[in-house]
């Protein structure tokens, strides 16, 4: 009795895993970013933060066109090492992201993940439900809108490994997938 690995399937799986391991994160110019500041900190004490560069991200709550810019309200979350918002963590507050020009609201839609690098320009009074809220505002210099879907960048990796036995009546194969 001989055992063999289903070689074409194994090669496809190996290539897929290698390519997913080499996938690069967005390239942010994070030089000079103050990683200690959170939207909640800036909402509470805006003066010391004004003018500082931050890298914040989260889930888009709304997108509004203004005369010459777009305003995006974001519920902030901690960022992972690739700067992707981790929505399974506790929120860090809300912030308003201002981008010169017009962003398409259908693309920058509610529920999408976004990461931005920009300078804190101050705060803006607003409402969250019936409560007053002091929104930190950043002028975005870099934006990354994460692909929709679950998993890393919406990509799932799977595969199949098969083992076969050879007998006198032909080949038979037993396999499992993950």
pLDDT of residue 108: 96
Does residue 50 have a pLDDT over 80? yes
Domain range spanning residue 111?
28-146
pLDDT tens, 106-149? Answer: 999 999 999 999 999 999 999 999 999 999 999 999 999 999 87
The verdict on residue 166 lying in a domain is no
Residues 145 and 113: their CA atoms lie apart, in Å, by 6
Lowest mean pLDDT among 10-14, 43-47, 56-60, 96-100: 10-14
The verdict on residue 114 lying in a domain is yes
Nearest residue to 57 (alpha-carbon basis) of 142, 127, 134: 142
SS3 101: coil
The verdict on residue 23 lying in a domain is no
Both ends of the chain: CA-CA distance in Å?
26
The verdict on residue 162 lying in a domain is no
Does residue 6 have a pLDDT over 80? no
CB 175 within 8 A of CB 6: yes
The verdict on residue 110 lying in a domain is yes
CATH code of 66's domain? 2.40.50.140
pLDDT of residue 27: 81
Residue 19 or residue 87, greater confidence: 87
Number of domains, the chain: 1
pTM (two decimals): 0.71
> For 57-63, what is the mean pLDDT?
98
pLDDT tens, 145-163? Answer: 999 875 454 444 555 454 4
Q: What H or E segment, with its residue span, contains residue 166?
A: strand 160-167
Query: Residue 33 carries which DSSP code?
Result: B
Does residue 88 have a pLDDT over 50? yes
Query: Residue 18 carries which DSSP code?
Result: H
Q: What H or E segment, with its residue span, contains residue 13?
A: helix 7-22
pLDDT tens, 9-41? Answer: 544 444 444 444 445 568 888 889 999 999 999
The verdict on residue 75 lying in a domain is yes
In the structure encoding, which two tokens stand for residue 97, read together? 């992201």
């Amino acid at each position: 009795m001989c055992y063999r690995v289903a070689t074409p399937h194994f090669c496809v799986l190996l290539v897929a895993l290698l390519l997913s391991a080499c996938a690069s994160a967005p390239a942010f110019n994070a030089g000079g970013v103050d990683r200690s500041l959170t939207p909640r900190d800036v909402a509470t004490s805006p003066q010391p933060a004004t003018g500082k560069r931050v890298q914040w991200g989260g889930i888009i709550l709304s997108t509004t066109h203004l005369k010459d810019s777009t305003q995006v309200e974001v519920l902030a979350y901690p960022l992972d090492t690739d700067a992707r918002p981790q929505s399974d963590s506790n929120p860090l507050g809300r912030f308003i992201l201002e981008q010169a020009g017009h962003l398409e609201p259908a693309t920058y839609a509610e529920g999408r993940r976004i990461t931005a690098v920009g300078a804190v320009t101050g705060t803006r009074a607003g409402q969250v439900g019936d409560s007053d809220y002091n929104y930190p505002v950043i002028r975005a210099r870099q934006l990354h809108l994460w692909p929709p879907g679950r998993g890393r960048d919406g990509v799932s990796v799977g595969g199949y490994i098969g083992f076969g036995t050879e007998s006198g009546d032909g080949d038979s194969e037993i396999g499992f997938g993950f």
